[in-house]
Amino acid sequence: MEWLSKLKNKLSRNKSTQFQPKGPPDPKFLGTFMVVQFIESPRFGLEEAQYQEFTAELPNELKDCTQAWILFYLSWIFKLLISSKYGEVFTRQFVAQAVELFQKAENLQPGLEGLSNTFSFWMSNLDDSTSHVGKKFEGLEIPFEVFAAWTFLFLDEGSPYYKKTDTNRIEFEVAKALILAKEAVVNRIQKAVDFGGPVEEANV
């Protein structure tokens, strides 16, 4: 876990410090790193107050759900960026490592029961939601986060809109929270993906 800590610290340190990959890209390393980001506080580098801020305008019945959905959405963004950079085989290895570690975490930490299955469920369904990319309403392209939000609202058994087609357009409000979270951390996730594995200080 030493290199995980080093990478995590690197992403939080002064920009003047230069780092470089220590070896070739490693899907197992990135899978482990993502799981650590998901479970350990601050999750994905975001303080709890930030999650609360992202969901502040939502109805109380949706705030906790949406904060959980944000974690899965950021995990999916991580997976998407890995797929774009390293390809399908690498991504499958990344996901397999993440699932394996989530399974181990379920046995070690109370409150995480079923997390590996839930992770796999959302990764698959968010992938399916990309079929809506490019759809427009009155000439304006609908952000993917709207479709992601609808997926969460419709398929999460804990959602007040579970299996309901009439959402009163609340998916647009949930989408705002997903967008805010993504904008806050996407550069950080991209850096981790670009490093691809353990890092060391560069000689500059």
Tens-place pLDDT, residues 20-78: 888 899 999 999 999 999 999 999 999 999 999 999 999 999 999 999 999 999 999 99
Query: What is the pLDDT, as a whole number, of residue 1?
Result: 53
The dihedrals phi and psi of 26, each to the nearest 5 degrees, come to: -130, 110
CA-CA distance, 82 to 85, in Å (whole number)?
Answer: 5
CA-CA distance, 182 to 174, in Å (whole number)?
Answer: 13
CA-CA distance, 195 to 190, in Å (whole number)?
Answer: 9
Query: What is the pLDDT, as a whole number, of residue 190?
Result: 97
With a cut of 50, list the residues of the chain below it in pLDDT: none
Residue 59 preceded by cis peptide, ω within 30 = no
Query: What is the pLDDT, as a whole number, of residue 74?
Result: 99
In 10 A of CB 41, how many CB atoms? 8
Which residues, 6+ apart, have CB-to-CB distance to 63 below 8 Å?
52, 55
Query: What is the pLDDT, as a whole number, of residue 204?
Result: 56
In the DSSP assignment, the letter for residue 134 is T
CA-CA distance, 45 to 90, in Å (whole number)?
Answer: 24
Alpha helices in 40-166 (DSSP H): 48-54, 60-86, 88-108, 115-129, 144-155
Secondary structure (3-state) at 53:
helix
